Amino acid sequence: MKKEKNRNSFSGSIGFVLAAAGSAVGLGNIWRFPYLAAKDGGGLYLVLYLILALTFGFTLLTTEIAIGRKTKQSPLTAYGQLKSKSGFLGVFACLVPIIIMPYYCVIGGWVVKYFIAYLTGEGSSAATDGYFTDYISGGMQPIILMVIFLFVVAFIIFRGVNKGIESFSKILMPLLLLLVVGIAVFSMTIHYTDDSGVTRTGLEGFKIYVVPDFEGLTVKGFFTVLLDAMGQLFFSLSVAMGIMIAYGSYVKDDANLVKSINQIEIFDTVVAFLAGVMIIPAVYTFMGKEGMKASGPSLMFVSLPKVFASMGKVGSIVGVLFFAMVLFAAITSAVSVMEAVVSSLMDKFHMSRIKASAIETGIALIGGIIVCLGYNKLYFDITLPNGAHAQILDIMDYISNNCLMPLVAIGTCILIGWIIKPSVIIEEVEKSGCKFGRKNLYIVMVKYIAPVLLVILLLKSFGVLTFI
């Protein structure tokens, strides 16, 4: 198999692990994981998520990283190198980050707005009713902040694998982890007495988070939790969107893939868990169980500012640290999304990094402006097959995350499990002499269990399996 001799590579396993973990630790971990954990019975969701991370997630993560290192190609061209007739999977895998990048930058701009608000002492304003809605439906400011966020990400990508992605990951990821741990510890120490005289503590919220709640659990409810946890793994591990193939292509042949994959799994799972520790106890303490029903933008940009406002003066400091942490997470994830597209353009069309980066920046810029306008001049409301109400951002999110990502994952499992056989991946993993301890588990998962779970997830997304 032909490999590019001059392809960039990570300088070592630490750089790769931090970059991959940076991709995995994004907005999905921070605003989606805690909400799902609170909705799905706390500890039950955590247990299922952990089991799936060590089996289902591990399988997809290993497959994509190994494909990248074996082919030394990005997602657009890697699948075709493995099997000539499977190139269409590369097209789907590349479409995912192309669709995600514009709206991710828009959300990144929202994070910038709130970080600036808390940094300049305007955090109390951010907690008022209508602040978020007024901002996103406003005129030029959301577009300007989206452009700033996009250009920061583009600058990192312009600098390349070593001076850009790896260098920034080594700086941002330790800072992010430090902030996550600090805020999580603080969240468990707080207490609050509401107007009715009821006192709630962070430790009580933590108990709700980690102790399984089986009350009223049905078979349908169990499968709902299972599919929620599985869907979250796509966000958490950055699989089925070409990112790990691109990053895997930069890993040196003598690197210990088993060790690196284990470290990525641990890093991501710990941060996802700590995101819940940061958010659930704090929201419960100041807003009760009702406050824990918020998810996504509503949780981060509406509920949490109200929580910070309830903390008094210390809330302003916590708000600055929290949105700094979220900004770091958003940047590292956006960098990986953009790199999946840029590396694909470079490999497919033999472009320079500068030209490929400029093209993707232009695509993301145009798409981002359209997404911003989707909250004012281009606003509409439709119902998706899964029953959710949507406008432009939601439609893009549905197409990429609910449709294309499961399709890419199913196609990858069929290709590896049944066409070119799991031995291809196993040989790549063990190439450096390391032992693939979960080899038998990998074979069973990639051939049988993962495809079945993915088909169920896809059918649910399409609104076919309404009984789950």
- Reported confidence tier of residue 361, pLDDT bands at 50, 70, 90: very high
pLDDT surpassing 70 at residue 336: yes
- Reported confidence tier of residue 341, pLDDT bands at 50, 70, 90: very high
How many C-beta neighbours within 10 Å does residue 254 have?
9
pLDDT surpassing 80 at residue 346: yes
Return the pLDDT at 449: 96
3-state secondary structure of 42: strand
Between the CA of residue 268 and those of 33, 329, 337, 398, what are the distances in Å?
A: 12, 12, 17, 23
> Which letter, b or e, does each residue of 320-336 get, where b requires 16 or more Cβ atoms within 10 Å of its Cβ?
bbbbbbbbbbbbbbbbb
Return the pLDDT at 2: 43
CA pseudo-torsion sign 334, 404, 41, 383: positive
- Reported confidence tier of residue 4, pLDDT bands at 50, 70, 90: very low
- Reported confidence tier of residue 358, pLDDT bands at 50, 70, 90: very high
pLDDT surpassing 90 at residue 39: no
Cα of first residue to Cα of last residue in the chain, in angstroms, is 44
Return the pLDDT at 5: 47
3-state secondary structure of 430: coil
Return the pLDDT at 238: 86
Residue-wise pLDDT for 214-246, tens only, equals 887 888 889 889 989 998 988 788 899 999 999
Rounded to the nearest integer, the mean pLDDT of the chain is: 92
Residue 108 and residue 149 in contact, taking contact as beta carbons nearer than 8 Å:
yes
Angle of helix 353-373 versus helix 87-119 axis, rounded to 10: 60
SS3 content of the chain, % helix, strand, coil (to 5): 75, 5, 20
CA atoms of 14 and 20, how far apart (whole Å) = 10
CA atoms of 274 and 282, how far apart (whole Å) = 12
CA atoms of 219 and 128, how far apart (whole Å) = 41
One-letter amino acid for residue 8 of the chain: N
Return the pLDDT at 50: 94
CA pseudo-torsion sign 327, 332, 334, 335: positive
One-letter amino acid for residue 256 of the chain: N
Average pLDDT over residues 59-79: 97
- The CA-CA-CA angle for residues 332, 295, 56, to 5°, reads 60
- Reported confidence tier of residue 467, pLDDT bands at 50, 70, 90: low
13-461 belongs to CATH 1.10.4160: yes
Least confident of 2-11, 261-270, 374-383, 392-401: 2-11
Average pLDDT over residues 431-456: 94
Q: Tell me whether residue 20 is exposed, middle or buried, using C-beta atoms within 10 angstroms of its C-beta: 0 to 12, 13 to 18, 19 or more.
A: buried
Q: Tell me whether residue 10 is exposed, middle or buried, using C-beta atoms within 10 angstroms of its C-beta: 0 to 12, 13 to 18, 19 or more.
A: buried
CA atoms of 361 and 240, how far apart (whole Å) = 22
Residue 295 and residue 32 in contact, taking contact as beta carbons nearer than 8 Å:
yes
Sequence length of the chain is: 468
DSSP calls for 340-389: HHHHHHHHHH---HHHHHHHHHHHHHHHHHHHHHTTTTT---EE-TTS-E
Return the pLDDT at 215: 81
Residue-wise pLDDT for 382-426, tens only, equals 999 888 889 999 999 999 998 999 999 999 999 999 999 999 999
How many C-beta neighbours within 10 Å does residue 83 have?
14
Average pLDDT over residues 74-79: 97
Structure tokens at 88: 């269409």
Return the pLDDT at 413: 97
Least confident of 41-50, 79-88, 90-99: 41-50
Residue-wise pLDDT for 120-176, tens only, equals 999 999 999 999 999 999 889 999 999 999 999 999 999 999 999 999 999 999 999
Residue 192 and residue 310 in contact, taking contact as beta carbons nearer than 8 Å:
yes
Return the pLDDT at 3: 43
Return the pLDDT at 463: 80
Return the pLDDT at 289: 84
Place of tokens 């980690």: 210
Q: Which residues contact 408 (CB under 8 A, 6 or more apart)?
A: 89, 92, 93, 96, 240, 241, 242
Highest mean pLDDT range out of 17-21, 99-103, 265-269?
A: 99-103
Return the pLDDT at 198: 92
Structure tokens at 113: 């707005």
Output the pTM of the full model.
0.94
% pLDDT > 70, the chain: 98
